[in-house]
Amino acid sequence: MNAPPKAIAGASTFVDDRIGAGNFLKRNLRKIFPDHWSFLLGEIALYSFIILLLTGTFLTFWFKPSMGEVTYTGNYAPLYGVKMSEAYASALHISFDVRGGLLIRQIHHWAALLFVAGMMVHMLRVFFTGAYRKPRELNWIIGILLLTLALLEGLTGYSLPDDLLSGAGLRITEGVILSVPIVGTYIAFFLFGGEYPGHDVISRFYTIHILLIPGILLALISAHMILMWVQKHTQMPGKDRTEKNVVGAPFYPAFMIKAGSFFLFTFGVIALLGTFAQINPIWLFGPYTPADISAGSQPDFYMGFLEGALRVMPAWEINFLGHTVALSVLIPALVPLGIIMTGLALYPFLEQWITGDRREHHIADRPRNNPHRTSIGIAGITFYGVLWLLGANDEISANFHISLYTTTWFGRIAVFVGPAIAYWVTYRICIGLQRKDAEVLAHGVESGVIKRLPNGQYIEVHVPPAEDIAEHIRGKKEIPILEGAEDAEGIPPKGARGPLGRLRAKMSRAYGTDHVPLPDGHHEEVHEAEHAGVGAGDRKELH
């Protein structure tokens, strides 16, 4: 092809004459995107969000966010003649009277789950590879805002159909709001337009769910993408990859089509789930009434850890001077979420404070190479995971025939002990993996060839590792350590004075000390000398 087709040439000339788009395209058409499976995780979240926008808009065409009472006369026979809210009736209408309505409803719900799950694993990969480090702290903070908003978005969406299950979630929300000291009662009355459940909350949640939060999400996701575009991707360590370059495929044409196909994959899988995996069958639950509840009801997975926290909490409550602080509600509702979100938000800055590392980082860490960070992450996951499991302790108790109270007690202990154990185990594993890496560089990999030496000894011949693997391993970076030593006059440097300074210096040493330094570049000669005359490949004694 010598010239672009007329249609494209004409249109692009038109646009370029008016806004000079050519300059932008010149810089960006061949922008390089590095390749790694874990970079797709964020994309899952992104595409799920797009699917949510599309399916959500479809649903708004029929959904009626009203708590006004109607008598159901639609197609779903078991509920014929039952009094219910207009919201519930319209959700039933979408499910049974609109062609494709049930499908879109289920796709919307599955996409919501995938959206949150995608964000969570994406965030974990950013955390464990240290991709949040300078200059990407802003995108990290945006990400945390996105995750928090997504949880709120899920909560408001879940409440809209006004079935018995969603009402239970709403009731718990109200109870939690009531527990907030001083202003809780007022917030509850303002949110519900008076006493619970009132007649306003569905229409208010509707506005929040379809306008307010999606608008903010859209703005933040755009900012997230722009920053990612400007700062370029991190890349995994490897051959020819440095802090100063990006190695990969160009946006046009390769990445563009890859991204398109990944969007279709995401959509296709969600469509499969929406078709064959029933989700939130609201018609089985019946309309909401505060007097009833279906036993064994479960919230969406991302609310599970809050549910679990509420379940394990002992019954603490303080009364003083005619006021009540319901710690048994307040602590589980705020503390775990607070620890996790605040901890995540502060982590890049705490790490910088401890390591004194102000450099830019574009090569992603392998999790093993920063064992303390990785252990903190796994401890956090364990903390979250224990609470999450506890959110289903009634199911666990029923399925495994363990007493309900035993599971609760187990949870109360495990929520503290579990993370500590996880920390220790992860740390050991990281160090072990680092040893293995050092081993591979120093002695090569087992070739499977056994050799008999003249003196009768058997050895396995080791060959040097493949170049890309070796480069991947050599990508390990040392973690800077603050200068904590005292100078000649016995005065510690500025940052390490006072108790806080000393703690900082100590943590810095613990965080940064490399217990398994990789053999340096010269190891080959050293090694060769040790085993001189034993043949081509490196080798090791057979144990």
Q: From 106-114, 144-152, 245-253, 330-338, give the range in contact with ligand HEM by CB under 6 A.
A: 144-152
Number of residues that bind ligand HEM (CB under 6 A): 25
d(CA 283, CA 79): 8
- The reply to whether 363 sits near ligand HEM by the rule CB under 6 A is no
Q: Which of 64, 93, 108, 122 binds ligand HEM (CB under 6 A)?
A: 122
Q: From 122-130, 164-172, 499-507, 513-521, give the range in contact with other proteins by CB under 8 A.
A: 164-172
- The reply to whether 404 sits near other proteins by the rule CB under 8 A is yes
Residues from 227 through 246 that contact ligand HEM (CB under 6 A): 228, 233-234
Residues from 40 through 79 that contact ligand HEM (CB under 6 A): 41-43, 45-46, 49
| CA-to-CA dists, residue 390 to 125, 309, 316, 338, 440, angstroms | 25, 7, 19, 18, 42
**Under 8 Å CB-to-CB from 424, ≥6 apart: which residues?**
375
Tokens encoding 542: 């057979």
CB of 41 to ligand HEM, least distance (A): 5
CB of 223 to other proteins, least distance (A): 15
Question: Which CB sits closer to other proteins, 254 or 350?
Answer: 254
Token look-up 């991947």 returns: 472
d(CA 167, CA 197): 9
- The reply to whether 128 sits near ligand HEM by the rule CB under 6 A is no
Tokens encoding 180: 């907030």
Q: H-helix or E-strand containing 483? A: none
Residues from 77 through 116 that contact ligand HEM (CB under 6 A): none
Q: From 86-94, 129-137, 195-203, 262-270, give the range in contact with ligand HEM by CB under 6 A.
A: 129-137
* Under 8 Å between Cβ of 236 and 474: no
CB-side exposure of 542: number of CA atoms within 13 Å? 13
Residues from 291 through 330 that contact other proteins (CB under 8 A): 291-293, 295-297, 307, 310-317, 319, 321-326, 328-329
Number of residues that bind other proteins (CB under 8 A): 122
- The reply to whether 237 sits near other proteins by the rule CB under 8 A is no
Q: Which of 66, 90, 106, 139 binds ligand HEM (CB under 6 A)?
A: 139
Using DSSP's 3-state secondary structure scheme, residue 463 falls into strand
Query: Which of these, 297, 340, 307, lies nearest to 411 by C-alpha position?
Result: 307
* Under 8 Å between Cβ of 337 and 306: yes
d(CA 137, CA 344): 11
Residues from 445 through 484 that contact other proteins (CB under 8 A): 466-468, 471
DSSP 253: I
- The reply to whether 76 sits near other proteins by the rule CB under 8 A is yes
- The reply to whether 342 sits near other proteins by the rule CB under 8 A is no
Q: H-helix or E-strand containing 367? A: none
- The reply to whether 136 sits near ligand HEM by the rule CB under 6 A is yes
CB of 453 to other proteins, least distance (A): 33
d(CA 333, CA 356): 35
Tokens encoding 19: 């806004």
- The reply to whether 171 sits near other proteins by the rule CB under 8 A is yes
Query: What does the binding site for ligand HEM look like in residue numbers (CB under 6 A)?
Result: 39, 41-43, 45-46, 49, 119, 122-123, 126, 131-132, 136, 139-140, 143-144, 146-147, 221, 224, 228, 233-234
